[in-house]
Structure 1
Amino acid sequence: MPPALAQVVEDFNDLEIPDRLQLLLEFSDGLPPLPQRYAEHPELLEPVPECQSPIFLHVEVEGDDGDAVVHLYFSAPPEAPTTRGFAGILHEGLDGLSAAEVLAVPMDFTDHLGLGEAVSMLRLRGMAAMLFRIKRQVQEKMAG
């Protein structure tokens, strides 16, 4: 697991369950706004229908195979703090990493956050779906 994402997992596991929810809300508040180039063209973002709230994402990969860097962009409404929080975690843990590092993230990393007792499994599956789409977009951009 990349160091930034491992730190997020550690931060969650250092807290009691109610405090984990508070940290999730902090990640929600910390999600960067969508850049204008995507805000004006929402059709460029991919929906994640597995999430209970509407969320859209886009992945950019800059550079060549050996030094390709991944940038993540999310659009989620403020009235969906859990979904925004999950997007914030992924942004914090993955944005700016190499494509290889992003692709190496285990799909079950969401299980390690310790949120299973705090949020529904349906919500955690939504976060896993975000990660799946991120990895798929990275693979597609690296291939083509």
Structure 2
Amino acid sequence: MTAATTEGLPEGFAAIVEDFNAVPEPERLQMLLDFSRGLPALPERYAEHPELLEPVPECQSPIFVVAEVTGTGQDARVDLFFSAPEEAPTTRGFAGILHDGLDGLTAGEVLAVPADVSDRLGLSRAVSPLRLRGMAGMLGRIKRQVQEKSAA
């Protein structure tokens, strides 16, 4: 793995990328499934009001995301919530990676995450480009929400 693989990533997200790149491709798919199982359930305030979450149409499976931002500016805290069906493990896995890699960071840290992070996981031969674009779509929506909410 090269330093470019983790360049520009927050520490926790860099560790996820390193873990994926440290194992053979078949094991990467298993890791993705593990992340899908680890995606936290929605809190009641969103489970009872799914209209508060933003859809991510770039994903093949129905997935919804909301970024809560506490405070303003670059130091505002970001908390992420996802809704993804259990029968879509790849999509849930990507949501789980984004949750584990970004949840609890500052707005500045989230906004600085490179757009190509999905390509750095070493899944390009195991997962279709369309699915990788779905993860990029999730990140794009998260970053837009964080930008808007941290500026408010």
TM-score by length of 2: 0.93
Deviation of the 1:108 alpha carbon:
0.5
Aligned-pair identity (%): 72
**What residue number does 1:73 align with?**
81
Bigger Cα displacement from structure 2, 91-100 vs 63-72: 63-72
Counterparts in 2 of 1:124 and 1:66: CA distance versus 1, 3 Å: closer
Determine whether 1:47 maps to 2:19.
no
Aligned counterparts of 2:61 and 2:115: Cα–Cα separation in 1: 21
Aligned counterparts of 1:99 and 1:142: Cα–Cα separation in 2: 7
**What residue number does 1:10 align with?**
18
Aligned counterparts of 1:57 and 1:108: Cα–Cα separation in 2: 19
Deviation of the 1:63 alpha carbon:
2.0
Structure 1: 5+ residue stretches without partners: none
Q: Segments of 4+ in structure 1 off by > 4 A?
A: none
Aligned counterparts of 1:66 and 1:51: Cα–Cα separation in 2: 28
Aligned counterparts of 1:113 and 1:140: Cα–Cα separation in 2: 28
Structure 2: 5+ residue stretches without partners: 1-8
Deviation of the 1:109 alpha carbon:
1.1
- Which residue identity lines up with residue 61 of structure 1 in the other structure? V
Deviation of the 1:66 alpha carbon:
4.8
Aligned counterparts of 1:91 and 1:113: Cα–Cα separation in 2: 15
TM-score by length of 1: 0.98
